[in-house]
Structure 1
Amino acid sequence: MHRIIGILLMVVFVLSACRSGEQKDESLQTSVKVLRYDRLQYEATVMNSVSALQKMNIDCPQATKLLIEDVLGIGSVAEPDINDRLCAYYSDSLLVRLMDDVQEKFKDLSGIEADLTKGFRNLKREVPAIPVPRIYSQISALNQSVVVGDSLLGFSLDKYLGQDYPLYKRYYYPFQRRSMVPERIVPDCFTFYLLSLSPFPWEEGHRTLFDFMMYRGKIAWTVEHILQSDGSGRLTLGYTREELNWCRKYMDALWKEMAEKEHLASTDPMLIRSYTSGEQTLTFNGEKMPPCIGIWLGMQLVDKYMKNNQRLTLKDLLGKDDFSDLMHTPKH
């Protein structure tokens, strides 16, 4: 009798294991590895390595095309002297120092790879159709922080050396430098990737501040969700504890004022920018509002919406463009 029970239990275990294997999405098991394209750039330009330059063109043609044509804007990869121009561009003493500091600061990207892996596994689990791009690190000469191409995502290590990095103080305002920290690499990668997959539908008629707040809010909420953050905005917006306390204190009052001043229905691009950019230009109650306050408010309404509609999936949320049904129910 014990033997029969044992056999039955073994059969159940095997069948369960088979079913589990059938349901397993192999893409969820793949660890994200970051291609150190920045090291090829360093070797090709600073170290004058011909082989590294060849690898950039032969092994990484798409990343090289993006770098030359879109990020740096120095010409076409098809031009015969483009390699010489690329090396000359990076021979500037400031850029050489920048590349040296990048190599010293980012010797190991395993922590970033682990967080990217976690995020993409969670994203694929809820939205299986979303592709996982090839990811690489680069040195953009202080141009774009994140670039997205066809099945490709690159992040610029030279834009994340820390807000107190001396060179940044010469070229960036304090509100810009606060996001130039290593902790923002992963959330920025997911933010720009999701924005590229689901661009804001400007062409579909007049789009209001409320529409844009909810669009950016759903992207920020999704990033915090898949990275298993607390949804407060610390991860995606870089808020301090004091800024979060301020937002929570005045949240309902802000919604009320925005409605009374008819800001929510406005299509003025300058007004939209003032609520969603990193520059602190708005005041309330005699105090400067935290940066990106509109995105934070959108996140909170998205959070409430998802909690009140638990049957909705992340796929449903990302596909939702019209949040007008929530416009009159922002109060928490």
Structure 2
Amino acid sequence: MRIPILLLSTLFLFFGCKPQKCEIPQEIAGIPVEIKAERLEQELFRAKSKEEVAAFLQKHPLFTNHFLQRKRYASEEELVNSLYGMATEPNLQQLAQQVDKRFSDLNGLETDLENAFKHLKHYYPEAKVPQLATFITGMGQDLYLDDSLLVWGLDFFIGPEAKYRPPFPKYILYRYDKPYLVPTTVLLLSSRYNETGPETNMLSEMIANGKSLYFAQKLLPCTPDSLLMGYTNQEMADVYYNQERIWGHFVEKGLLFETNQFKIKKYVGERPNVPEIGKQCPGRIGAWVGWQIVRKYMEEHPDVTLPQLMAETNAQKILTASKYKPKKQG
């Protein structure tokens, strides 16, 4: 799945780069949302005693009760000992230094997330904006989200220069880098709004993933597709150029109504590639196709709101009404 060099460069510019003049409409920019991260990892790793760790827990009850799940510990002392062990562990201290260096300034990330929640409240005025906290989890958890609290496990997102990295394959590890932090957060947020039906076939999984990606696209309109999908620029160019061939594979092989979960995961789940379509076809291609179907559906039906889309559980209805039929490129 390779494409001509001249066309490739054009596609890189179109799909792989952030729009140069991306401005948020004033009616959205003016929505009052303010996000400022609490750098809790810095505070914890400054602790020199168990008493200071205990004071840290008392100071941050929301974080302690929600993220650390205080109730799971037999006693307060057990939780204090656990955190003190983290704060004084040499490898984690080194990791904390790398986090400080990589994330010395969160202003850009805070602004991007702030704008995402402004868009969210534009579409869902009653939506709650959680407090943002950062932490080092020792590769325990990358993200945490509930109505009140959002936690970024920054040690996951240091990037390729990190001494310690999450224990994931390379094709997944690629997405654990700073530029993917906000897009990954918004994709996680989408799960709180994405209604799904009882069907568990290929099409329903594709559309469910497509709705999540479209949700992220609407909340992050200035973010390139490559960061939302987690594909390289080369992969993005390839899949757009080969869209007709990819869709043809699903149709000709009768895959849309496949119910075998193992086969569904081959196309929608995490894989380095999908050799059933082509050696260079990236994993999660079914999610990408679902995104294109949802995009076409929304283009065909401009009266449909984002909340209405996310509440729609009939995947077949979305496919039929989208009139999705990609044409051969080149």
TM bucket by the smaller chain? 0.7 to 0.9
The yes-or-no answer on 1:37 pairing with 2:31 is no
SS in 2 for 1:84: helix
The Cα shift of 1:234 comes to 1.0
What is the CA deviation profile of residues 54-102 of structure 1, one whole-angstrom value per residue up to 9, with x for unaligned ones? 13x22322322344349xxx95274532211222245433222111211
In the other structure, the counterpart of 1:238 is: 230
In the other structure, the counterpart of 2:171 is: 175
Asked whether the equivalents of residues 29 and 115 of structure 2 are also in contact (C-alpha less than 8 Å), the reply is no
Asked whether the equivalents of residues 294 and 318 of structure 2 are also in contact (C-alpha less than 8 Å), the reply is no
1:330 pairs with one of 301, 305, 324: 324
1:88-107 equivalences in 2 (<5 Å): 88-107=85-104
The Cα shift of 1:310 comes to 0.6
In the other structure, the counterpart of 2:12 is: none
The alpha-carbon distance between structure 1 residues 149 and 273, as it changes in their structure 2 partners (threshold 3 A), is same
Task: Point out the structure with max Rg over C-alpha.
Answer: 1
Q: Please give the alpha-carbon distance, in whole angstroms, between the structure 2 residues aligned to 1:149 and 1:78.
A: 24
In the other structure, the counterpart of 1:225 is: 218
1:6-45 equivalences in 2 (<5 Å): 28-44=31-47
Structure 1: give runs of 5+ residues left out of the alignment: 1-23
Q: Please give the alpha-carbon distance, in whole angstroms, between the structure 2 residues aligned to 1:275 and 1:200.
A: 21
The Cα shift of 1:330 comes to 3.1
SS in 2 for 1:283: coil
Output the TM-score relative to the length of structure 2.
0.81
Letter in 1 for 2:324: P
Q: Please give the alpha-carbon distance, in whole angstroms, between the structure 1 residues aligned to 2:231 and 2:124.
A: 28
SS in 1 for 2:150: strand
Give the length in aligned residue pairs: 298
The Cα shift of 1:288 comes to 3.1
The Cα shift of 1:211 comes to 0.9
The yes-or-no answer on 1:251 pairing with 2:243 is yes
Q: Please give the alpha-carbon distance, in whole angstroms, between the structure 2 residues aligned to 1:173 and 1:275.
A: 17
1:268-307 equivalences in 2 (<5 Å): 268-284=260-276, 286-307=278-299
The Cα shift of 1:26 comes to 11
Quote the RMSD (CA, aligned, Å): 2.7
SS in 1 for 2:31: helix
The Cα shift of 1:113 comes to 0.8
Q: Which has the higher contact order (CA 8 A, sep 6+)?
A: 2
Q: Please give the alpha-carbon distance, in whole angstroms, between the structure 2 residues aligned to 1:50 and 1:271.
A: 53
SS in 2 for 1:158: helix
Structure 2: give runs of 5+ residues left out of the alignment: 1-26
SS in 1 for 2:38: coil
Q: Please give the alpha-carbon distance, in whole angstroms, between the structure 1 residues aligned to 2:119 and 2:74.
A: 37
The alpha-carbon distance between structure 1 residues 78 and 266, as it changes in their structure 2 partners (threshold 3 A), is farther
Identity %: 22
Asked whether the equivalents of residues 41 and 53 of structure 1 are also in contact (C-alpha less than 8 Å), the reply is no
Q: Please give the alpha-carbon distance, in whole angstroms, between the structure 2 residues aligned to 1:90 and 1:208.
A: 46
The Cα shift of 1:30 comes to 2.6
SS in 2 for 1:137: strand
Output the TM-score relative to the length of structure 1.
0.80
Letter in 1 for 2:260: D
The Cα shift of 1:212 comes to 1.5
Letter in 2 for 1:280: P
In the other structure, the counterpart of 2:16 is: none
The Cα shift of 1:51 comes to 3.5
Letter in 2 for 1:184: Y
Larger deviation: 182-191 or 283-292?
283-292
The alpha-carbon distance between structure 1 residues 123 and 233, as it changes in their structure 2 partners (threshold 3 A), is same
Q: Please give the alpha-carbon distance, in whole angstroms, between the structure 2 residues aligned to 1:92 and 1:274.
A: 40
Q: Please give the alpha-carbon distance, in whole angstroms, between the structure 2 residues aligned to 1:242 and 1:200.
A: 32
The alpha-carbon distance between structure 1 residues 216 and 324, as it changes in their structure 2 partners (threshold 3 A), is same
